[in-house]
Chains A and B, each alone.
Chain A
Amino acid sequence: MARFLFPEWTQPLKKYVITPALLVGPVYIVLMAALVKDPQTLRVGYMPEQPVPYSHALHAGEMGLDCRYCHNVVEQSAKAAVPPAATCMNCHQTVLPRSEKLLPVRQAFFENEPLRWVRVTDLPDYVFFNHSAHVTRGVGCETCHGRVDRMVRVWQAQPLTMQWCLDCHRNPEPNLREPANVTVMGYQPAAGEGAAVKARLKINPPTDCSTCHR
């Protein structure tokens, strides 16, 4: 029954601080909400510096290596995983074996001092994501990661919000292709390909919360 009592001198605050705050508050909230939605905040385009100036544009684009040469577990695991240094050394033992830029790779390979790549595509830890569930069901890398084959340094291509995930889970058809072609960049699905894949593989992405929050 007792009320929270403030000292007498705070009475003017009621008039001059709280009331204006109540008026400005909604504007502030709207502004913050807009900022949260802003691509800048969502980090689309986020492109951190990497310890080795490795270029997808060169290796995956120009040289045309398949994504799965390096991200070879992507079809079996929740993770796509960055390849071990041993994969790079398949070539770089003979190609540019003394390059300064490749020193950290050699250290990882010969001295077991692991490379520390900076994560680009980052979901919060409370979200469960699974690569194999998408890649084997005809969602291409490009749909979520953009034209990696044109990126010298990888940057984040999609907003990665819950809405973004759900937009596709509710209507996957436009984004589906033959699973054999998931790693092809700049792919143009044939007319009706999405619908055909969806029907054949009985694709029905779940939208209940426990799919992604477990």
Chain B
Amino acid sequence: MSSLDHGYWKSIAELDRDLPSGEAEFTPADPEASDDGVDPLSRRNFAKLMGASLALAGVAGAGCKRYQREEIVPLGRRPEDQIPGVTQEYATSFELGGHAHPLVVTSYEGRPIKVDGNPEHPFIGGGVVAGTRRHAGSSAFAQGSILHLYDPDRSTGVNHSGKAASFSDFKTWIGELRKQASFNKVRVLAEATSSPTVQALRRRLEGAMPGLIWHEWEPLSWDNERAGMVQAFGKVVRPIAELDKAETVVALDCDFFVDHPAAVRYGRDFARARHPATSTLGRGRMNRLYAIESAYSATGVMADHRLPVRTEHVLPVAQMLESLLTGGPAPRAEVVNEAKVKRLVEALAREIRANTGRVVFLVGRRQPAAVHALAARLNQTYGSSAVRHVEDPEPTRPTHAEAIATLAREIKQQQVETLFILGGNPVYDAPADLDLGALLGQVATSVHLAEYADETSARTTWHVPRAHYLECWGDGRTWDGTLTMQ
């Protein structure tokens, strides 16, 4: 029966008929074969009937009252400008890596629901088309930050030695601590912050508890750049690029659209120089972006020319570029003789010479100080009208790596009895060779203030839940130093 008249396909009936004879013998016994097809008890019909009965039972059960009882719970006193049912917008800022990111938050009856960039902020505000003030970007981190606020995993209570405690227990302990005669063995390990208020509080604390030492540790640190600036200029300054004025932008392992405290501003300025009709470089002109980087980044995606090299080869490639431009000795590293490197660097050198004054070099925070210093020199010569420098607010502080190493040494030398860890998760992100997690065991009492009970909280005596930035007041400074409210 396998010869099919129509040739190409089999219907299910034909497939059944083609079964080996042993199985086909079952068919006559199957009641369906002799069925007219309207048996009300087929499985489908049975399920349908059951479903309908259940649904109707539901109607009957809830029939006497349509909806469950709901309550209207108005505030005791309604804030003056709050209209229930209407959203409000307010300006705030979010701090990441010790730099403020200006935001506008939409809130509904007191609950934040949406985060956007602040279009009126002097540093990041204003649209891509120069002169417009309606838009501002925000970063993926800022967008993600609102989810923390509602994260059910956020810690909600004080913990002492792994057991739930109350906030008044904690306050009692602080009261005891304050009665001490000397605070020589009290340390604070804080994450970086640009907040003038926190800095003022720090000074007050240092006054009230003489002997206390405050260390600052930040994993998203730009300390390499600070060191590079010292090599180049003899002092700590902060470079700020004006990408809307740059004809040529060279990113040296720098994902400045994402991983930079001024990323939002840089994105806006970069786009300003790319709009064909309203380009800040002049009508019809566009900037050109070169990315020399070790991993595919958002900046690499945007680049006109991208050179993938290993992280440690960024320095010789940059040195090669400098030697072509200034005539100094060429680096000896192998990589600069590779054809693709040579081609790109030579073309780039020609373009830089042609655009002198309007070239920007940006260096990523993972690159060593030597690359930052080299870029600072090149910016001086070739980017004079597109790069400016501002003072660093804390030019004399030790680097983050030094600070945490000092703390580790003090703990080893039994100089720390009480340690306050304000924010961050140093057990997780401090340099591994310090083994901070094990060292915390040698500190008699340690306190961790954090949004989550994390690796660090597990090693400290106290864990204190921290308010989210959308739940409290504060302030901060953006990369260029603009004061910003939170």
Contact = CB atoms under 8 A, between A and B. Distances in A.
B78 A32 contact: no
Contact of A48 (B40, B69, B77, B85): B69
B32 A124 contact: no
A85 B71 contact: no
The 4 residue pairs across chains A and B that have the minimum distance between CB atoms: A4-B43, A79-B85, A77-B85, A81-B84
A41 B73 contact: no
Contact of A1 (B32, B56, B75): B32
B78 A3 contact: no
A77 B81 CA distance: 13
15 contacts: A2-B32, A3-B42, A18-B41, A22-B40, A32-B63, A73-B83, A73-B84, A77-B85, A78-B86, A81-B85, A84-B75, A86-B77, A86-B78, A115-B73, A122-B70
Contacts of B85: 73, 77-79, 81
A81 B74 contact: yes
Contacts of B40: 18, 22
Given A81-B85, A115-B74, A122-B66, 7 more contacts: A4-B42, A4-B46, A22-B40, A35-B63, A41-B64, A82-B74, A84-B78
A124 B43 contact: no
Interface stretch (A57-65, A105-113, A174-182, A191-199): A105-113
Contact of B84 (A3, A35, A40, A79): A79
A6 interface: yes
A109 B76 contact: yes
Contacts of B46: 4
A118 interface: yes
Contacts of B78: 83-84, 86
A44 B16 CA distance: 60
B74 A85 contact: yes
Contact of B32 (A3, A84, A113, A114): A3
Interface string B19-43: 0000000000011100100011111
A113 B76 contact: yes
Contacts of B64: 40-41
Interface string A73-97: 1001111011111100000000000
Given A14-B41, A77-B86, A118 B69 contact: yes
Contacts of A116: 71-73
B65 interface: yes
A32 B59 contact: yes
A5 B24 CA distance: 19
A86 B76 CA distance: 6
B75 A82 contact: no
A112 to B, nearest CB: 5
A117 interface: yes
Interface string A98-131: 0000000000110111111111001010000000
A124 B67 contact: yes
B113 to A, nearest CB: 15
Contacts of B67: 122, 124
Interface in B1-32: 12, 16, 30-32
A77 B109 CA distance: 12
Contact of A29 (B56, B71, B84): B56
Contacts of A48: 69
A6 B66 contact: no
Contacts of B74: 81-85, 114-115, 117
A118 B68 CA distance: 11
Contacts of B32: 1-3
B474 to A, nearest CB: 24
B339 interface: no
Q: Name the residue in B73, B76, B84 with the highest tally of chain A Cβ atoms < 10 Å from its Cβ.
A: B76
A81 B84 CA distance: 7
Interface string A17-40: 010011000001100100110001
B200 interface: no
A43 interface: yes
Contacts of A2: 30, 32
B429 to A, nearest CB: 40
Nearest to A79: B85
Contacts of B42: 3-4
Contacts of B66: 41-43, 122
Interface string B75-109: 11110000111100000000000000000000000
Nearest to B35: A3
B60 interface: yes
Interface in A138-191: none
Contacts of B30: 1-3
Nearest to B66: A43
A109 B74 CA distance: 11
A132 B76 CA distance: 24
Contacts of A18: 40-41
Interface in A39-73: 40-43, 48, 73
Given A3-B32, A18-B40, A77-B83, A32 B72 contact: no
Contacts of A76: 83, 86
Contact of B86 (A41, A73, A109, A114): A73
A84 B74 CA distance: 5
